[in-house]
A and B are shown apart, each in its own frame.
Chain A
């Protein structure tokens, strides 16, 4: 069966993942369609990071299935590099390469991995810098940028690979409150452009605004999920209600 873009972009079925004896994901399933934005929320340690790191094979997993555009991630013969070209990821700690300038950070992967032409890549990178509103910071080193600016470079760096899906793991959690919004705005722009996004976040207002679907995880299972209106205003599970009560 050939994957078409009316099938889920990412399809997770009964995912189980353990670190040694610790079972972190206990049968997680979700489907993400092309152009959808989904938010995963839940208490710390509930396995949100582990879940999205399985999607781009940064973590392996014991059983279940993840299909990315129809390609099985749990396949021992999986070409991880091919998978990762399709799936971008942004981290809480930015993880920019400190020995490269902002624009070099963005250009590195297209040059070295995709082997694109330097002029094309430079043009692309300048466009992305503009998109994340960092004109003038091209030649700054990460150490010279604020957290919010670094995070936007990290988003641009990931976008430079022209991914089909973006994973965001609490990308505003390490930021000063003043800079959170500039990063959220960048993600909002992306969502509006139709990028498929899987976001782990604690920004409830933002989740309600941009998400098509919200998943609440606790101790390795999805407790409850639904569109934002239902999820936030008519949560049924006591664990969800308690969590929302603490956070809102």
Chain B
């Protein structure tokens, strides 16, 4: 019995552990495969449209492309502004979560948990219906168009997630960094801003970019509340073409394609940064 375990042990120890390189990773050809699948899916529809007197699917799509692209740029604008706002608010909230003041800490924690555990669509609805359509301050009337309200609505979950990213990065640093800095007579603010946070940026970047990708894809939720982003416009375009069912797949494939072309490089870069930072620290 003892002998056997002795024989088995070295074998088990030699079994190579999966190295990071062996794990699943996005590669450029994954993207190509997806594009090919999209195109292949639209081919039957394209052939179905050979009925004379009806314009070909491709021609119709090309005709609508500028409008759809405009809608998509709108999605990007919403995503960037929601990300900027959510990041600012989330960074403040994240720092609140590590505050020495228990009231601030509790408040930041509850706010973070509340918005992190709420469905994005529900938050979006709240923002749409709770925010007024215009804002009056100092006799000035600032209109709040739907897309701006949607931006606020999407910034809420981003804020909560950024708050957790910040808190997580700060607590993941070894406590020795705090102790060394404190024993050098740095004040708490100096420790945080000069020693801890600069080291956290590296750790925060990949999850932050990940969050941005998720947010970008979530901007289509704004179509449900009537913002004229790419999904809304696609629906309108299809309606204008008389609701031809053969157009559905090509049109939505085009939307998929747009998101893919935008989000895929971000995903690649995130993976690259993750790898780079994993080696260095």
* Distance (whole angstroms) from the CB of A163 to the closest CB of chain B: 10
- Measured between beta carbons, the chain B residues less than 8 angstroms from A157 are 184
A89 touches B177 (CB 8 A): no
B180 touches A97 (CB 8 A): yes
Q: Is B66's beta carbon under 8 Å from chain A? A: no
B176 touches A91 (CB 8 A): yes
Total of A-B residue pairs, C-beta within 8 Å: 58
Residue of A nearest to B183 (CB): A89
CA distance A80 to B186 in the complex (A): 10
- B79-87, B90-98, B193-201, B246-254 - the one binding chain A: B193-201
A97 touches B195 (CB 8 A): yes
- Measured between beta carbons, the chain B residues less than 8 angstroms from A88 are 183
**Chain A interfacial residues counted at CB < 8 A:** 26
Residue of A nearest to B182 (CB): A58
Majority secondary structure of chain B interface residues (helix, strand, loop or mixed): helix
Q: Is A184's beta carbon under 8 Å from chain B? A: no
Interface residues on B, range: 10 to 19
CA distance A81 to B181 in the complex (A): 11
Q: Which of B180-221 contact A (CB under 8 A)?
A: 180-187, 190, 194-195, 198-199
A97 touches B177 (CB 8 A): yes
Q: Is A38's beta carbon under 8 Å from chain B? A: no
Mask for A84-98, Cβ within 8 A of B = 1, else 0?
Answer: 110111010101111
Known: A58-B182, A95-B177, A97-B177. A81 touches B280 (CB 8 A): no
* Distance (whole angstroms) from the CB of A139 to the closest CB of chain B: 17
Known: A98-B199, A98-B281, A99-B198. A113 touches B186 (CB 8 A): yes
A91 touches B186 (CB 8 A): no
* Distance (whole angstroms) from the CB of B220 to the closest CB of chain A: 39
Q: Is A108's beta carbon under 8 Å from chain B? A: yes
Q: Is A2's beta carbon under 8 Å from chain B? A: no
- Measured between beta carbons, the chain B residues less than 8 angstroms from A158 are 183-184
Residue of B nearest to A79 (CB): B185
- Measured between beta carbons, the chain B residues less than 8 angstroms from A93 are 174, 176
Q: Which of A48-105 contact B (CB under 8 A)?
A: 56, 58, 80-82, 84-85, 87-89, 91, 93, 95-99
**Residue among B179, B185, B187, B194 with most chain A CB within 10 A:** B185
Contact of A84 among B185, B195, B199, B281 (CB under 8 A): B185
Residue of A nearest to B184 (CB): A109
A161 touches B184 (CB 8 A): yes
CA distance A88 to B198 in the complex (A): 24
- Measured between beta carbons, the chain A residues less than 8 angstroms from B182 are 58, 80, 84
Residue of A nearest to B186 (CB): A113
Q: Is A127's beta carbon under 8 Å from chain B? A: no
**Residue among A93, A95, A161 with most chain B CB within 10 A:** A95
Mask for A207-230, Cβ within 8 A of B = 1, else 0?
Answer: 000000000000000000000000
Q: Which of B138-195 contact A (CB under 8 A)?
A: 174, 176-177, 179-187, 190, 194-195
CA distance A192 to B20 in the complex (A): 50
CA distance A3 to B199 in the complex (A): 41
CA distance A138 to B246 in the complex (A): 69
* Distance (whole angstroms) from the CB of A136 to the closest CB of chain B: 22
Contact of B186 among A99, A109, A143 (CB under 8 A): A109
Mask for A35-46, Cβ within 8 A of B = 1, else 0?
Answer: 000000000000
Chosen A-B contacts, 25 in total, with CB atoms closer than 8 Å, are A56-B183, A58-B179, A84-B182, A84-B183, A84-B185, A89-B179, A89-B180, A91-B176, A93-B174, A95-B174, A95-B179, A95-B180, A97-B180, A97-B195, A97-B199, A98-B199, A98-B281, A99-B198, A99-B199, A108-B184, A112-B186, A113-B184, A113-B186, A157-B184, A158-B184
Can you list the 4 inter-chain pairs with the closest CB atoms, starting with the nearest? A95-B180, A95-B176, A84-B185, A89-B183
With A80-B182, A113-B190 given, can you name 19 additional A-B contacts, CB distance below 8 Å? A56-B183, A58-B182, A58-B183, A80-B185, A81-B185, A82-B185, A89-B180, A93-B174, A95-B174, A95-B180, A96-B180, A97-B181, A108-B194, A109-B184, A112-B186, A143-B280, A157-B184, A158-B184, A161-B185
